[in-house]
């Protein structure tokens, strides 16, 4: 047995060491060693003199796999601390479509446009593998699935999930390599890692396992419909269209009113110089009141900080 197999013998909450050791067919001393190793690897293990177990709302396979409704999420790799779930999935060469990497902590989580992604304990960080030709509007499809799974929030083009007051609740990073697409999702479930971000828990009771399994089955469904249906669904969660925006693009800043999203997923902005189509960029909405200035280089910032670039 190794520590990751021992993890499968743990339940949520404390159980006496003797009970867990018997289930794992180990001595209590050996069970203590494995439990300590799991804690050191970043898993949320409760370790007390009286017993051992997993912290509540655990993403351990024994709690997630029985709840999966579709094909996405299998095979499932649940890890403690990693650099980035995107890196782990990319290095997992033989992984099939639907493979999922979930981690409790990322030391080098990344966001769109080269920004870092910060996360706090208890939040959700995962990467899903697609091995199919990318459907059109993939970022929007993923955004709709996330908003529906959360059942809350507004989408900022192309796929950020925001709270009604404009703070970031979740982000999506889509990377591709040789026919593989890595869909990375980060959601602030219990804690906002920055003053300019928000956590879902501020607004509604939320459980990571519910959110994860709902997202996976919704995304599987949302990969099929035609673009027109996706655009319509996106608009139901839209927090961008009709608003004054500043969009930082690789070729400069576009300012005006966000009017529409076209069939290619580009944002159409009415500017003083006419209508411009933006394919890649970061939208900055007018900062909501009481939003503290964003910190330099934080991937989650929504205010007037460096993340706008």
Binding site for ligand BTN (CB under 6 A): 84-86, 106, 109-112, 115, 117, 125-127, 160, 171-173, 184-186, 299
Cβ 106 to ligand BTN, closest distance in Å?
Answer: 6
At residue 172, φ and ψ (nearest 5 deg) are -130, 135
Cβ 226 to ligand BTN, closest distance in Å?
Answer: 26
Query: 238: which DSSP letter?
Result: B
- Cβ proximity to ligand BTN: between 26 and 146 the closer is 146
- Cβ proximity to ligand BTN: between 34 and 182 the closer is 182
| Rounded Cα–Cα distance for residues 253 and 249 (Å) | 6
- Cβ proximity to ligand BTN: between 60 and 155 the closer is 155
- Cβ proximity to ligand BTN: between 58 and 119 the closer is 119
| Rounded Cα–Cα distance for residues 233 and 212 (Å) | 20
Strand, helix or coil for residue 74 = coil
Cβ 85 to ligand BTN, closest distance in Å?
Answer: 4
- Under 8 Å between Cβ of 176 and 31: no
- Cβ proximity to ligand BTN: between 9 and 124 the closer is 124
Cβ 91 to ligand BTN, closest distance in Å?
Answer: 13
Tokens 């960029």 belong to 281
Beta bridge pairs of residue 185: 126, 172
Q: Residue 179's closest CA among 138, 136, 131?
A: 131
Cβ 81 to ligand BTN, closest distance in Å?
Answer: 13
- Under 8 Å between Cβ of 147 and 139: no
């Amino acid at each position: 047995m190794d520590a990751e197999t021992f993890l499968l013998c743990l339940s949520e909450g404390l159980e006496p060491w003797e009970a867990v050791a018997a289930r794992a067919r180990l001595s209590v001393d050996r069970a203590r060693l494995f439990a300590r190793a799991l804690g050191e690897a970043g898993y949320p293990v409760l370790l007390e003199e009286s017993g051992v177990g997993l912290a509540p709302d655990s993403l351990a396979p024994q709690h997630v796999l029985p709840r999966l409704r579709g094909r996405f999420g299998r095979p499932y790799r649940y890890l403690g601390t990693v650099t980035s779930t995107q890196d782990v999935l990319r290095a997992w060469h033989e992984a099939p479509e639907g493979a999922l990497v979930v981690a409790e902590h990322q030391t080098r989580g990344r966001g769109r446009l080269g920004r870092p992604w910060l996360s706090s304990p208890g939040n959700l960080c995962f990467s899903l593998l697609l091995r199919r030709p990318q459907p059109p509007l993939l970022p929007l499809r993923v955004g709709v699935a996330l908003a529906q799974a959360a059942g809350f929030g507004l989408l900022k083009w192309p796929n950020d999930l925001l709270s009604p007051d404009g703070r970031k609740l979740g982000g999506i990073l889509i990377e591709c390599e040789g026919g593989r697409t890595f869909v990375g999702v980060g959601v602030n479930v219990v804690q906002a890692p920055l003053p300019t971000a928000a956590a879902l828990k501020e607004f509604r009771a939320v459980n990571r396992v519910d959110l994860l399994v709902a997202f996976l089955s919704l995304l599987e469904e949302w990969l099929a419909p035609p673009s027109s249906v996706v655009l319509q669904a996106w608009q139901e969660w839209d927090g961008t269209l009709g608003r004054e925006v500043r969009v930082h693009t690789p070729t400069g800043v576009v300012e005006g009113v966000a009017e529409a999203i076209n069939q290619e997923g580009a944002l159409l902005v009415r500017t003083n110089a006419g209508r411009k189509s933006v394919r890649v960029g970061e939208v900055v909405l007018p900062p909501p009141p009481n939003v503290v200035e964003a910190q330099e280089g934080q991937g989650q910032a929504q205010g007037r900080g460096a993340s706008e670039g």
